[in-house]
Amino acid sequence: MGILSSVKGFFGRAGRFISAGLSQLFGLGFELTHRLPGLFGFFDYIFGWIGIRPKQKLYLRVVVLVEGSSPIVADLDAVYSIINEAKSIFLSQANVEIVPAVGSILSISPYPAPSAVLEVECGTDFWEDDFGEAGEFFRLHTVDMPLRSETGYGSPITAFIVKRIRGDGGLRRGCSMTFFEDYLLVSLPISPSRVLAHELAHTCGLSPIDSLHSSANNNLMNIDDLDGDKLTNYQAARLRNSPHVTYY
Ligand SMILES: [Zn+2]
């Protein structure tokens, strides 16, 4: 490796590090500043108890990655099925309508994905990956909506369908950086049907501030029984108070 490529490599890594750090910092900043006016979901919690829960919106784009020249998912119906399940759960449990972020809700990535992006780690390794090649790719291909993405208010979420997610000594079905990033991952094979809804809920703040997962088997955030689809009033209020969820 020549001196020039070493220098380029150093600035490439430094650039990724700075962009990931800023992105995570903005994620945290948006989380705090946007949750404060709604008193961190307190109003939604109180109104939810008396059945008042006006409809809100969440903008979503689902991106299927491409390996070589082929999308990694042959049957897009499987992807539509997890999108429809997420739509149904968010609407019935929190009166949040999931709508397409610019154009179609599902798209095939126009660029082939590097291997660091097709197979990723979850947990603290995912956080580390966010500073590397994978994070750079995901941030670059996360959908942008004018004003929303810059201010964080109603910023869209991008869900990437990847080949494999490793974590906790096994394979994971999905992974979210919670409020730190506007993107999340779902892996092949695409199951269970609620996987996208579960990861979206993490990104909308059902995360470390609350206990990460629920012990109730019928709950969306339970991970013993993978078909729970219910949210408590408290969870619905926290989800509705997310900066990603807005009235317009
Ligand atoms: Zn989870």
**Mind giving me the DSSP string for 122-148?**
-THHHHHHTTSHHHHHHHHTS---TTH
State the distance from the centre of ligand 1 to the C-alpha of 206, rounded, in angstroms. Answer: 9
Rounded to the nearest 10°, the torsion over CA 127, 128, 133, 139 is 30
* Beta carbons within 8 Å of 7's beta carbon, 6+ residues apart: none
CATH of 3-246, one of 3.40.140.10, 3.40.390.10, 3.40.120.10, 3.30.300.30: 3.40.390.10
pLDDT of 27 reads 65
Two tokens at 2?
């020549």
- Mean per-residue pLDDT, 43-70: 88
- Mean per-residue pLDDT, 45-52: 77
Mean pLDDT over the full length of the chain? 85
Where is pLDDT greater, at 36 or 236? 236
Two tokens at 66?
């491409």
State the distance from the centre of ligand 1 to the C-alpha of 178, rounded, in angstroms. Answer: 10
- ∠ CA 209-213-217, rounded to 5°: 145
Task: Give the pLDDT band of residue 185 (cuts 50, 70, 90).
Answer: very high
State the distance from the centre of ligand 1 to the C-alpha of 209, rounded, in angstroms. Answer: 13
pLDDT of 29 over the 60 cut: yes
186-to-133, 146, 159, 170, 214 alpha-carbon distances in Å: 18, 26, 7, 15, 20
DSSP 162: E
- Mean per-residue pLDDT, 202-219: 83
State the distance from the centre of ligand 1 to the C-alpha of 230, rounded, in angstroms. Answer: 14
State the distance from the centre of ligand 1 to the C-alpha of 223, rounded, in angstroms. Answer: 7
Task: Give the pLDDT band of residue 151 (cuts 50, 70, 90).
Answer: confident
DSSP 189: S
pLDDT of 156 over the 60 cut: yes
Distance between CA atoms of 158 and 64, rounded to whole angstroms?
11
Beta bridge partners of 136: none
State the distance from the centre of ligand 1 to the C-alpha of 172, rounded, in angstroms. Answer: 10
Where is pLDDT greater, at 59 or 139? 59
Q: Kindly tell me the burial class for residue 56, based on how many C-beta atoms sit within 10 Å of its own C-beta (0-12, 13-18, 19 or more).
A: buried
Per DSSP bridges, beta strands 174-176 and 164-167 are unpaired
State the distance from the centre of ligand 1 to the C-alpha of 199, rounded, in angstroms. Answer: 6
What percentage of residues in the chain have a pLDDT greater than 70?
A: 80
Cβ density class 146-180: b for 16+ within 10 Å, e for less:
eebbeebebbbbbbbbbbebbeeeeebbbbbbbbb
Task: Give the pLDDT band of residue 203 (cuts 50, 70, 90).
Answer: very high
State the distance from the centre of ligand 1 to the C-alpha of 93, rounded, in angstroms. Answer: 17
pLDDT of 1 reads 45
Two tokens at 144?
């942008």
Residue 112: is the preceding peptide bond cis (ω within 30°)? Answer: no
Q: What is the chain's length?
A: 248
| Ramachandran category for residue 152: left, alpha or beta (phi over 0 → left; psi -120 to 50 → alpha) | left
State the distance from the centre of ligand 1 to the C-alpha of 96, rounded, in angstroms. Answer: 20
Domain boundaries, the chain: 3-246
pLDDT of 63 reads 96
State the distance from the centre of ligand 1 to the C-alpha of 41, rounded, in angstroms. Answer: 20
Q: Kindly tell me the burial class for residue 144, based on how many C-beta atoms sit within 10 Å of its own C-beta (0-12, 13-18, 19 or more).
A: middle
Residue 193 CB neighbours (<10 A): 18
